[in-house]
Every structure is written in C-alpha cells, then in structure tokens.
C-alpha cells in the first residue's frame, strides 16, 4: 500500500476513534447530570456564595485546605454550627449605601469594605453534607507522563509537581503548569490542553466552556492510551455543560486531541 494512502487511512481511523470517545463522553455526562447524587450535591453547592478572586486568595492564605466556607448564620441555616473556639477566616465584604436616583429608583453605592469572618465546613458540625460525586481520575502512567512533559516543554510550557491548596489538582498559568502530587495523568493532559487552547489573551470563552474543552481533550487522549477509570462525566456535570455544547465544540477538541496524540505517538 502507498505510504501516503496508509497514513491517510490511519489518520482517518484516529479521527473516528476520537469522535466515538467524544460521543461516549457526551452521553455519560448527561447521565451524570441526572444522577441523584449529582443533583443533591449541585443543590447543596448552589446555596454557597461565589467569592471574588481576592477573597478566594484570602481564604487560601488563611486556610489552604478549605473547601466550603460560609458565615456563622449561614451555617446555622444549613443545619450546622461552628464549633466553640474555632477562629474565623477573614474576608472583605462590601459596604453599600442605599440611594435614590432622579426617578426615585433605589440603587446601592459602594463606599468601602469591611472585614467579616467565614468558617470552613471542617470547623463546623451538625447535619451531614451530601458526598461529592467522584470527579478525580488518579490513574497514572509514568512513561506517558514523561512523554507529555517533554511535549509540553517543546511547546514552551514548563511543568512542576507540587502540593496545591483547596483540593486543586492542576493549574495552567500561561506558559507554566502546576500539577498536584497525587493527580493522575489525565490532569496533566487537561492542563496541557488549557495551555494549547486557552493561553491566547483574546480567548473570551466562559470558564465552563474552557473546562469542557480541556477535560474532553484529556478524556479522549487518556482513552486512546488505554485508561479506563476516568471520572470526566462527573467533572463536566459540575459545570452543567450539555452534550449539545460538547458536540458543538467537537472540531476544536478533536484537533487538539489529535495534536497531542500524534506528538506522543506519530501516525505512521
């Protein structure tokens, strides 16, 4: 068989496999979103305030292992109470003053900030929390990891392994990646995908779409190299993405997944 024809056939086979993996992931994500465990957990998460990036940093500096934080009275409303002697985590809350405009419509004007205190769930007791559906994929292939690191470095991306706070598995920082010591190979692929797809400052996709794209690439690449224990459907369900959204981004996901796979294992 002509070498060019063989290469084209092999590339077509790879594309068909990637497409099949993505369709499988889309179906599994929809099923995960409808599961009772996921619905209970998402309902629980929805009760918590979304903190600003500056307050998230304050929380991380004070209590790096924090997962869910809320004020004293908020925890009480959730059927839990702060244990005696626990020290609060300081954050900044806006000070708003009510005003009326020319049309007698009420508005709020920011005049400053004040320090308030929140507490992590580990500082409370009471009603049990719904367990988080398993979203991590800790399976590792050290040989593949080394190949992925070599590929990342060839793309100008440095990779470091270190302890990360707040259960974070990996971080993409624009030219550099931090991976938690206990994270699996899928996390490494996920962060490399972020670097390849989202490093451009003109990329204005929402976080949910960026996570959808990076996680889908990671799922496909790891499936291609024989990984089985992947909890990507649960991870994507946390961001409430739909199978329609996943499939609408298929071309971009396939292109990036193919780029990584062929860099590790060139099409012959």
Q: Is 268 a residue whose pLDDT tops 50?
A: no
Buried b (16+ CB within 10 A) or exposed e, 185-201: bbbbbbbbbbbbbbeee
Grade residue 8 by pLDDT with cuts at 50, 70 and 90. low
- For range 168-175, the mean pLDDT: 92
Residue 5, pLDDT score: 45
List pLDDT tens digits, range 237-263.
999 888 899 999 999 999 999 999 999
- For range 60-89, the mean pLDDT: 91
| Structure-block tokens of residue 267 | 């099409």
List pLDDT tens digits, range 201-235.
667 788 899 999 999 999 999 999 999 889 999 99
The whole-angstrom distance between residue 40's C-alpha and the CA centroid of its chain comes to: 19
- How many CA atoms lie within 13 Å of 156's alpha carbon, on the beta-carbon side? 6
Residue with tokens 């009603």: 127
- How many CA atoms lie within 13 Å of 85's alpha carbon, on the beta-carbon side? 0
List pLDDT tens digits, range 109-168.
778 889 999 999 999 999 888 888 999 999 999 999 999 999 999 999 999 999 887 788
């Amino acid at each position: 068989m002509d070498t060019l024809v063989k290469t084209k056939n092999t590339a077509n086979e790879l594309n068909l496999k990637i497409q099949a993996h993505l369709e499988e992931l889309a179906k599994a994500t929809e099923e995960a979103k409808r599961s009772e465990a996921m619905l209970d957990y998402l309902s629980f998460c929805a009760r918590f305030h979304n903190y600003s990036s500056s307050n998230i940093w304050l929380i991380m500096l004070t209590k790096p292992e924090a997962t869910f934080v809320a004020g004293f009275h908020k925890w009480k409303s959730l059927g839990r109470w702060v244990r005696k002697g626990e020290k609060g985590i300081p954050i900044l809350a806006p000070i708003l003053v009510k005003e009326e405009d020319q049309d007698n419509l009420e508005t709020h004007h920011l005049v400053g900030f004040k320090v308030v205190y929140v507490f992590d769930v580990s500082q409370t007791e009471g009603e049990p929390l719904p367990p988080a559906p398993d979203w991590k994929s800790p399976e590792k292939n050290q040989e593949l990891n080394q190949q992925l690191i070599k590929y990342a470095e060839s793309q100008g991306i440095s990779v470091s392994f270190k302890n990360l706070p707040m259960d974070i598995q990996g971080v993409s920082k624009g030219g550099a990646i931090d991976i938690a010591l206990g994270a699996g190979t899928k996390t490494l692929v996920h962060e490399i995908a972020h670097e390849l797809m989202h490093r451009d400052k003109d990329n204005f996709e929402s976080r949910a779409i960026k996570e959808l794209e990076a996680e889908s690439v990671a799922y496909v690449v790891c499936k291609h190299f024989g990984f089985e224990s992947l909890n990507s459907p649960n991870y994507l369900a946390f961001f409430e993405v739909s199978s329609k959204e996943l499939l609408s981004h298929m071309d971009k996901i396939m292109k990036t997944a193919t780029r990584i796979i062929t860099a590790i294992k060139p099409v012959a």
